[in-house]
Amino acid sequence: MSDTASSESFHGHAHHASPPPAGVEVRHDWALAEVRALYGMPLLDLVHRAQTVHRAVFQDNKVQLCSLLSIKTGGCSEDCAYCPQAARYKTGVKAEKLMAVADVLSAASKARSAGATRFCMGAAWREVKDGPQFDSVLEMVRGVRALGMEACATLGMLTEGQAKRLKEAGLDAYNHNLDTSPEHYGDIISTRLYEDRLRTLDRVRGAGISVCCGGIIGLGESVDDRCNLLRTLANQDHHPESVPINALVAVEGTPLEDQPRVETVDMVRTIATARILMPQSMVRLSAGRQQMNEEAQLLCMMAGANSLFFGEKLLTTGNPEYTQDMALLEKAGIRPLEPRRER
């Protein structure tokens, strides 16, 4: 392996080791009432406050372009009510085998040429099983790192040993979302517990991998649920380095197929509140962009989102066209974060 760079933020971006700039609070003791008070502020006051925090921490004001690939699609044993990949729902997603390492790396290389600095590999697994498939995933991680991108994976629950092996392979970040509040979780997923999620997150953190953890809005949750999700994320011992905020993509065949589209104002409030609660984290405007117009996406960035997934597909659902995204960034003068590491 020629790649020996450490997993610290290689973009020179703010990360948790550095103290926050003057005037920016990093807290882990948010009360629900405080979070609600922020979330419920007049929208433009809230956005102004979030933008002020954002600019203090991220002085270069760039947006990270991440690429997402489903390396193992469908056939999942879990019952997450939002998910088109759960085997039990008839959604038109068909179950596939784990992709070959070479195919994943050729997709990664294309993503890199298109400007991605982070490559995230998703598998529709409940948990990782040791064996040849996990060995292939480790190979993919090494390959992505050798291309000079941040490597991220989302593979379901992990044991301590698996987290350690992912770290040794060079994995920068692991995505494992809490999705919603502890109170609402049981209405969305019955095949695992909130505590299972928290345990995997501890193992990821314990192995020295950076944590990517966020949620979904539009699942039928209350404002308190949204605030309690954000509060749970912020009140961990360390803020997740990355916080993806997804708007539900309502997929036919899932129990949530008839959920109304998330309103722009709700997405903006959620992102702004996440930015204020977790000032030094990358906040990702994740699923749901295809359903948003350009103005809504720009408002989300104004509210502190500094990362997005680009490319024609998320895992199984659509995403804006590459050329459309590039045109939006270009006309708005938004500069993408560039990779610092050479291959």
Residues of this chain that interact with ligand DTB (CB under 6 A) are 68, 84, 120, 122, 154, 175, 177, 214, 244, 246, 249, 286-287, 314-317
Q: Least Å distance between CB 252 and ligand SAM?
A: 11
3-state secondary structure of 113: helix
* Residue 183 tokens, joined: 């109170």
Q: Least Å distance between CB 23 and ligand DTB?
A: 30
* Residue 215 tokens, joined: 């949620």
Query: 177 vs 281, which CB is nearer to ligand SAM?
Result: 177
Contact (CB, 8 A) for 67 and 119: yes
Residue 86 contact, options ligand SF4, ligand SAM, ligand DTB, none, Cβ 5-8 Å cut-off depending on partner type: ligand SF4
Q: What is the residue-wise DSSP string for 219-233? A: SS--HHHHHHHHHHH
Q: Least Å distance between CB 191 and ligand SF4?
A: 8
Beta strands per DSSP E along the chain: 64-72, 118-123, 150-154, 173-175, 210-212, 215-217, 242-247, 282-285, 307-309
Residue 316 contact, options ligand SAM, ligand DTB, ligand SF4, none, Cβ 5-8 Å cut-off depending on partner type: ligand DTB
Q: Least Å distance between CB 196 and ligand SAM?
A: 10
Query: 53 vs 213, which CB is nearer to ligand DTB?
Result: 213
Distances (CA, A) of 266 to 40, 114, 143, 173, 249: 10, 31, 38, 27, 15
Query: 12 vs 92, which CB is nearer to ligand DTB?
Result: 92
Binding to ligand SF4 (CB under 6 A) within 78-137 occurs at 78, 80, 83, 85-86, 124, 126
Amino acid at 274: A
Binding to ligand SF4 (CB under 6 A) within 137-166 occurs at 156
Q: Which residues are catalytic?
A: 76, 80, 83, 120, 152, 212, 284
Cα gap 276→227, rounded to integer Å = 12
Q: Least Å distance between CB 26 and ligand SAM?
A: 25
Query: 19 vs 253, which CB is nearer to ligand SAM?
Result: 253
Query: 52 vs 236, which CB is nearer to ligand SAM?
Result: 236
Our finding on whether 218 is near ligand SF4 (CB under 6 A) is no
Q: Identify the CA nearest to 289 among candidates 71, 43, 129, 65.
A: 65
Contact (CB, 8 A) for 167 and 211: no
Residue 171 contact, options ligand SAM, ligand SF4, ligand DTB, none, Cβ 5-8 Å cut-off depending on partner type: none
Q: Least Å distance between CB 252 and ligand DTB?
A: 13
Query: 220 vs 339, which CB is nearer to ligand SAM?
Result: 220
Question: Where along the sequence are the contacts to ligand SAM (CB under 6 A)?
Answer: 82-85, 122, 124-125, 154, 156, 176-177, 179, 216, 246, 248-249, 251, 287, 315
**Which residue do the tokens 């912020």 mark?**
234
Under 8 Å CB-to-CB from 310, ≥6 apart: which residues?
65, 66, 67, 114, 115, 116, 319, 320, 322, 325
